[in-house]
Amino acid sequence: MRKIRKIILHCSDSDLHEHDNIQVVRQWHLKRNWIDIGYHFFITKDGKVNRGRDIDTIGAHCARHNRDSIGICLSGRHQFTDDQFCSLRLLLLKLMMEYDLPKTAIHPHHRYNKKKSCPNYDVQEILDTL
């Protein structure tokens, strides 16, 4: 089992209804010749938490930071739902306990890629409610 040191939060960069589906995002990533979707979890607008890659499989969601991280993606670009944020909080709490991670181990994608605004929501606001 790999050592998990951080959780990186993402958005799918699309508010289109037809993109609110893990299979659509998986197909985007497979077209890039990846082995699977790059994220470990994908949260749809209704708050459903979908499993992506197995946690023991290195993700493909944040260059140079995949080896020791878990990638969580919320469906959306600028439009997110309360259901998504509720599910995200519960998932984060579960993962923090399971991998003995502090809140300081949770980061927005743009921390590691300054060219991105992802995840396009206030991560600190989420952390403040954990």
Q: Quick one: average pLDDT of 75-84?
A: 97
User: Which class is 6-128 in CATH?
Assistant: alpha beta
User: Which pLDDT belongs to residue 9?
Assistant: 98
Structure tokens at 87: 């599910």
User: Which pLDDT belongs to residue 1?
Assistant: 79
**Placement of tokens 């003995």 in the chain:** 100
For 101-128, the pLDDT digits (tens) are 999 999 999 999 999 899 999 999 999 9
pTM of the predicted model as reported, rounded to 2 decimal places: 0.96
Strand pairing category for 106-108 and 6-11: parallel
| Cα Rg of the chain, angstroms | 13
User: Which pLDDT belongs to residue 22?
Assistant: 97
Alpha helices in 1-130 (DSSP H): 22-30, 82-99, 123-128
Which residues form the catalytic set?
10, 39, 109, 116, 118
Enumerate the domain spans of the chain. Answer: 6-128
What is the Cα–Cα distance from 52 to 66, expressed in whole angstroms? 14
For 82-94, the pLDDT digits (tens) are 999 999 999 999 9
The number of beta carbons lying within 10 Å of the beta carbon of residue 32 is 8
Q: Are 121 and 128 in contact (CB under 8 A)?
A: no
